[in-house]
Chain A
Amino acid sequence: MAESAISVKDVKIQYRMLNKMSLLKAIMNPKRFQKTEYFEAVKGVSFEVEKGKILGIVGRNGSGKSTLLRAIAGIFSPDEGSIDLHGHSISLLSIGVGFQTALTGRENIYLSGMLLGFDKAQIDEKLDEIIEFSELGKFIDRPVKTYSSGMYSKLAFSITAILETEIMLIDEVLSVGDAKFRKKSFDKMKSLIDNKDRTVIIVSHNSDTLKSLCDNILWIHDGEMKMLGTTEEVLPKYNEFMS
């Protein structure tokens, strides 16, 4: 039996419908403070992803895809149910997390890497590769605030792509920088995703991307599982539903 990398069991995620409010308004209208409405973004979703497989998640805007992805990433915990990663390391691919622009590119590699859960020794090991991939050369020791937006994206992408985890969660496939670097970053993404030891979940609205990359597709509609199956089974039905 294939080894499971991600087990999601009956996960429910609620948001308390609280908005920011002023103390003055609260004093004027204390009942508003007592009322707490709940919105259920994910309603009992269960699935397994085998190690090395690629799962795509589809659904229209507001269906709970990104919420589910962030719960799997551990950004917040589910209100009910469980998410088991079986001890695998995980990261939600997002670029430039925790950057401090007054610091150099090199220092931001450590800062961002540690925030993504890597220790100093692991970052040391990958440091040269990150710098080389980013094509920043001597700029790596200059403050990030002096970078152009393209240089910033290149560094941010390189950190995320080189500091690999066993499970990668991708909210839309990334490709950044100028035309040449965009191709390089897309190719890098593809090679990361295609790695047989890596388990990947991709949220995307792009059917072509999902068709070319994913083994299975999970279709979520209004927070509930509508369909789970192979890409060939689910994607045509989803496209038909959306058209």
Chain B
Amino acid sequence: MKRFNADVKRFWNYSTYNVKAELKSEVAGSFLSWLWWILDPLLYMLVYAFVAGVIFGASSKPYFMVFVFIGLNCWQFFNRVVRNSVKLVSNKKAIVTKVYIPKYMFVFEKIGTNGFKMLVSFVITAVFMIIYQVPLSWTMLWLLPLLLMLGLVAFAFSTIIMHFGVFVEDLLNIVTVGLQLVFYLSGVFYDLTDRLAHKYPTICDLLTYGNPVALIMTDIRNTLLYGGQPHFLALGIWMVVCLLISVVGVKIIYKYENSYVKII
């Protein structure tokens, strides 16, 4: 823990500068490429709102478009961070072989760049909420803690996946399929409770409480759109679990990072 704190403190300035640099690189990469940070979730929202709302008739939920948009914002953040973590060390070969940097800092950087994009999308969410006249509520203040929790979940899983990504060449295939499964089971474009609670209450509880992304997504929607409270107990348990996974992930990285240089 002492080493972790010292290392984070030492490399924090570089990592935050690098996050800004990566965002700037993306913007500099092509004309109006920053617009895609906004257009991407907006267009996906239209696709999923059409598929879920029109084809499957799941649009009875109030503020359904905003509901889908929030789900997509959360999902895209988690998906990008976890997916990118698979090849993170080998993609940073030029740095890893020349200077020492604790490899989990790369995960922090991915959380930073994708977190910024997610925040931009949440600004659009606020605009949608104004347009749809969502009533103001004190429960909206839970947004920030819930987003931090989402960051912790992404960090926990990404550190472990990043480590194995160094050694397992086809891990990206497995992770991509796994993420696709989690996407469909997380209720990104439908309400888990509405669709499953009556017919399959056990499965509904399992999918809501057993999947931290679904839980956080549900709670962000509840607190922002419907004036509800988060599921404190379930979130507390997941926070402890994710902290433990993060500790294991960081310890594994410290133990094996000597070997990364020779394998990538």
Contact = CB atoms under 8 A, between A and B. Distances in A.
B22 A100 contact: yes
The B interface, classified by DSSP as helix, strand, loop or mixed, is: helix
A96 B261 CA distance: 18
Contacts of A28: none
Interface stretch (A68-76, A124-132, A204-212, A221-229): A68-76
Contacts of A18: 167, 259, 263
Contacts of A115: 14, 95, 99, 101
Given A79-B258, A98-B94, A20 B14 contact: no
B17 A111 contact: yes
A18 to B, nearest CB: 6
B99 A107 contact: no
A77 interface: yes
A211 B13 CA distance: 40
Interface string B252-263: 000011110111
Nearest to A14: B258
A111 B22 CA distance: 11
A92 B25 contact: no
Interface in A106-121: 107, 110-111, 114-117, 119-120
B21 interface: yes
Given A22-B168, A114-B14, A116-B99, A102 B28 contact: yes
Most buried by A among B28, B94, B95, B98: B98
Nearest to B259: A16
Interface stretch (B116-124, B127-135, B169-177, B196-204): B169-177
Contacts, number: 90
Nearest to B260: A76
B65 to A, nearest CB: 34
B169 A22 contact: yes
A19 interface: yes
A38 to B, nearest CB: 10
Given A76-B261, A115-B99, A97 B18 contact: no
Given A22-B170, A92-B98, A102-B29, A75 B13 contact: no
Given A94-B98, A103-B28, A115-B101, A15 B17 contact: no
A103 B21 contact: yes
A143 interface: yes
**Interface size grouping (class) on chain B:** 20 to 34
B21 A111 contact: yes
Nearest to A171: B98
Contacts of A13: 258
Interface in B230-247: none
B31 interface: no
A23 interface: yes
A24 interface: yes
Contacts of A111: 14, 17-18, 21
22 contacts: A13-B258, A15-B262, A20-B166, A20-B167, A20-B169, A20-B263, A21-B169, A23-B170, A75-B98, A75-B99, A77-B258, A79-B258, A97-B94, A100-B22, A103-B21, A103-B25, A111-B17, A111-B21, A114-B14, A114-B18, A115-B101, A119-B13
Interface of B: 10, 13-14, 17-18, 21-22, 24-26, 28-29, 94-95, 97-101, 166-171, 174, 256-259, 261-263
Going nearest first, the 7 A-B pairs with the smallest beta carbon separation are A102-B25, A114-B14, A76-B258, A74-B100, A94-B98, A20-B169, A102-B28
